[in-house]
Amino acid sequence: MIRFALFGCGRIGRMHADNLAAHPEAALLWAYDVHGPSAEAVAEKHGCKAAGSVAEVLADPAVEAVLIASSTDTHVELITAAARAGKAILCEKPIDLDIAKVDACWNEIGPLGVPIQIGFNRRYDPSFNAVQKAIRAGEIGDLRQVIITSRDPGLAPREYLQTSGGIFRDMTIHDFDMARWLLGEEPVEVTATASRLVDPGLMADVDDFDTVMVQMRTASGRQCHINGCREAVYGYDQRFEIFGSLGMLQNENLRPTTVRRWGRTETEVQEPLLNFFLERYAEAYRIELDLFLQALETGGAMPVTPHDGRQALRLADCALESALSGRAVAV
Ligand SMILES: NC(=O)c1ccc[n+]([C@@H]2O[C@H](COP(=O)([O-])OP(=O)(O)OC[C@H]3O[C@@H](n4cnc5c(N)ncnc54)[C@H](O)[C@@H]3O)[C@@H](O)[C@H]2O)c1
């Protein structure tokens, strides 16, 4: 049984609290949020304590691990404090928006040897995982191309977009991690374009883009294409296609059921796609926690490391640089 504290009780923090409470080998002792009522709501739901400060939580020797699900700009500070207190860390992506801060953080806490996992949950999605295993097992021969489609169902609110760090570092960062994981090799060159097609006025106000295309190349010449958009009217579109010398792998979007309906005017009508990440990746978040606990219990390696978090951020930075400069960027 590993005893946890949760930092951040917002949208994803509440989901993590539910998963911690439901896991037979985890116990949630504390919830903390700068917005007190959010922590109190989690504490009431799960019968844990609402903390008044980070220090109060980290001073409790019963706490063995922290789950950081607070706003991105707080991650480095909380990771550093938790590592100094000797707690294991499961931290949501991205580590930070500034790679210099990420590097300074690892330089300080790396020597402490605290187990850390970064929340790139998509690696644990059962379908994506099966595809990655098939690639590594050589089912499609020599890998040639990875094509990732990643579209959100709708634009996030202005307040979110203002502090998100931009589409590449906030949203496409998941796809950069997927790309590295599927390619099995580091991209060495990134070319990207970025447009304001969904809401040009809002995007100009928040100095961001809503529609992007990225191309990457590895040292051996393998190619990856990512297309992303902050709005798809038909729902949360999460697919990829992997092409190799011996074949191709594809995964489909998930729906609540597999029922298809035929009528007078339409055929093969299916239910809408699972809407957005909490539903689409529910299983992946549970497996993420499970593998974190397993690694702590066995002393084994964490499945997604701080290095993975840094590399995805590096690719996001290169993509933004390419989109702004119109040039290919060496990683
Ligand atoms: N892996 C994924 O699929 C995924 C999905 C969504 C969000 N995220 C990440 O999770 C994090 C939270 O996102 P969200 O959508 O839940 O945001 P949110 O705004 O709903 O929640 C963030 C919470 O953090 C709290 N907070 C702010 N500063 C704090 C601090 N210093 N200490 C403790 N709590 C603090 C806020 O009061 C808020 O309740 C972000 O880093 C985001 O990128 C990951």
In the beta sheet, which residues pair with residue 270?
Answer: 260
DSSP class of residue 45 equals H
Give SS3 for 310.
helix
Determine the residue of 6, 9, 12, 280 to mutate for testing ligand 1's pocket, defined as the one with the most ligand atoms within 8 A of the Cβ atom.
12
CA distances to 125, 128, 151, 268, 272 from 258, rounded to whole Å, are 18, 18, 21, 11, 11
Reading the block at residue 26, the tokens are 């985890």
Any residues with CB less than 8 A from the CB of 60 and at least 6 apart, and which?
A: 5, 29, 30
pLDDT reported for residue 222: 98
Q: Which atom of ligand 1 is nearest to the CA of 72?
A: 41
Q: Whose CA is nearest to atom 30 of ligand 1?
A: 34
pLDDT at 295 over 90: yes
pLDDT number for residue 163: 87
Cα of 185 from ligand 1 centre, angstroms = 30
Residues near ligand 1 (Cβ within 6 A) = 7-13, 32-35, 38, 69-72, 74, 92-93, 119, 121, 277
The residue among 331, 314, 302 whose CA lies nearest residue 102 is 314
- Ligand 1 atom with the smallest distance to the CA of 75 is 41
Give the Å distance between the CA of 160 and the centre of ligand 1: 10
Give residue 28 CA to ligand 1 midpoint distance, Å. Answer: 18
Atom of ligand 1 nearest to the CA of 35: 37
Q: Flag whether pLDDT at 55 surpasses 90.
A: yes
Identity of residue 56: E
Ligand 1 atom with minimal separation from the 9 CA: 39
Query: Mapping DSSP to helix (H, G, I), strand (E, B) and coil, where does residue 43 land?
Result: helix
Please state, in angstroms and rounded to a whole number, the distance separating the CA atoms of residues 256 and 230. Answer: 22
> pLDDT (tens digit, 9 = 90+) per residue, 265-287?
999 999 889 989 999 999 999 99
Q: Residue 109 contacts by C-beta under 8 Å, 6 or more apart in sequence?
A: 79, 80, 83, 84
pTM over 0.85: yes
- Tell me how far the alpha carbon of residue 67 is from its chain's centroid: 14
Mean pLDDT along residues 1-16: 97
Residue 115 CA to residue 82 CA, distance in Å, equals 11
The protein residue with its alpha carbon nearest to ligand 1, atom 21, reads 10
Structure tokens at 17: 């609290």
- Asked whether residue 27 carries a pLDDT value surpassing 90, the answer given is yes
Terminal C-alpha separation, the chain = 42
- Pick from 71, 168, 304 the residue to mutate for probing ligand 1's pocket: most ligand atoms within 8 Å of its CB: 71
Give distance in angstroms: CA of 72 to centre of ligand 1: 6
Q: Tell me the domains of the chain and their CATH numbers.
A: 2-114 (3.40.50.720), 123-276+287-330 (3.30.360.10)
258 CA → ligand 1 middle, Å: 33
pLDDT score for 275: 86
322 pLDDT exceeds 90?
yes
Decide if 16 contacts 31 (C-beta within 8 A): no
> pLDDT tens, 197-254?
999 999 999 999 999 999 999 999 999 999 999 999 999 999 999 999 999 999 999 9
Looking from the CA of residue 7, the nearest atom of ligand 1 is 33
